[in-house]
Amino acid sequence: MEDDDETSSRTSSQMLNNNSIASLLYCDEDPLVSTTPPPPPPEASSCVVLVPPQQQASVLATVGDVEEEDHLKELLVNHLARQRFYAPTCRGGYLEHLLTPQQQQQQQQQQGSAPPEAAIIPGTGSASGARSRGVHYIIYAFGRLGLTVATVFNAVNYLDRFLSINCHLQCWEAWMVELVSVACLSIACKLDEVNIPSLHHLQMEEVMSHSFLPATVQDMELTLLKALQWRLACVTPYSFLQLFLSLTPHTTVAVASHCTRLLICSLTASETY
């Protein structure tokens, strides 16, 4: 009987202890019991593959290269879609105005409507002559002032677009061409350059026959911006070259410089755009 009493007392004391532990919990839960977690299922354990660190690094590098290449392809598609918004307008026959007399004559002969020789020779102030003078001024300023290549292509793009809008003008006087060219280069410098040259430094006597007041150039800049509808971050041939160089990171500096020089030389041709 004494043993039964001792057993019952022990049982009651354990119940009291369990009740006291449960009362400490925020909800009616059983006391925590340390149990061993069950082993993973055989399917999961069979999928574990050990890869050496060298192979892991190569796999990660491959994934990174694929993602970067996909990103560059998206940029290329985006450039192609945006390019037409920054191209000279085809209205007014701007490209025909830029053709040389020989090219004009060949084109008209192919169409079967060749006029007399005197009728196809452009005048002194033609759009072709205006573009030629403007482009040579921008390229000269690029070498003289140490401007970036993006500034050159943007400035020529502004010049082409403005001339294409106003190619109906029969005569472009020298001061008109110089004023428009300075305004194009000034806006391009404000967009791309870190150290923006002053209007005084942009007007170089060795390539310009006129000098303009800052207020005059600023008025021309505003006229130019309105004509271009404030679309300045344009897509140029140099934009595509930068993308292609990004796709080939192992390209040497000499090759990149040679490609850049070829593109700059191509700006003097009317078929650039």
Q: What is the pLDDT of residues 137-159, one digit of tens each?
A: 999 999 999 999 999 999 999 99
Domain ranges of the chain: 127-232
Identify the residue with better confidence: 159 or 4. 159
The mean pLDDT of the chain is 74
- Residue 183 tokens, joined: 């305004």
Three-state DSSP class for 213? coil
C-alpha R_g of the chain: 37
> Which pLDDT belongs to residue 104?
45
pTM: 0.65
> Which pLDDT belongs to residue 48?
47
Q: What is the pLDDT of residues 176-228, one digit of tens each?
A: 999 999 999 999 999 989 999 999 999 998 889 889 999 999 999 999 999 99
Q: How many CB atoms lie within 10 A of CB 82?
A: 14
> Which pLDDT belongs to residue 153?
94
Separation of alpha carbons 273 and 263, rounded Å: 12
Terminal CA-to-CA distance of the chain, rounded, Å?
112
Q: Is the pLDDT of residue 117 over 60?
A: no
Q: How many CB atoms lie within 10 A of CB 103?
A: 14
> Which pLDDT belongs to residue 66?
66
> Which pLDDT belongs to residue 116?
40
Tell me which fold the domain 127-232 belongs to: Cyclin A; domain 1 (1.10.472)
> Which pLDDT belongs to residue 172?
84
Angle at alpha carbon of residue 252, lines to 247 and 258, rounded to 5°: 95
- Residue 92 tokens, joined: 């007014």
Residue of 269, 264, 272, 235 lying closest to 84 (CA atoms): 235
Single-letter amino acid, residue 52: P
DSSP 233: S
Q: What is the pLDDT of residues 227-242, one digit of tens each?
A: 999 989 888 888 888 8
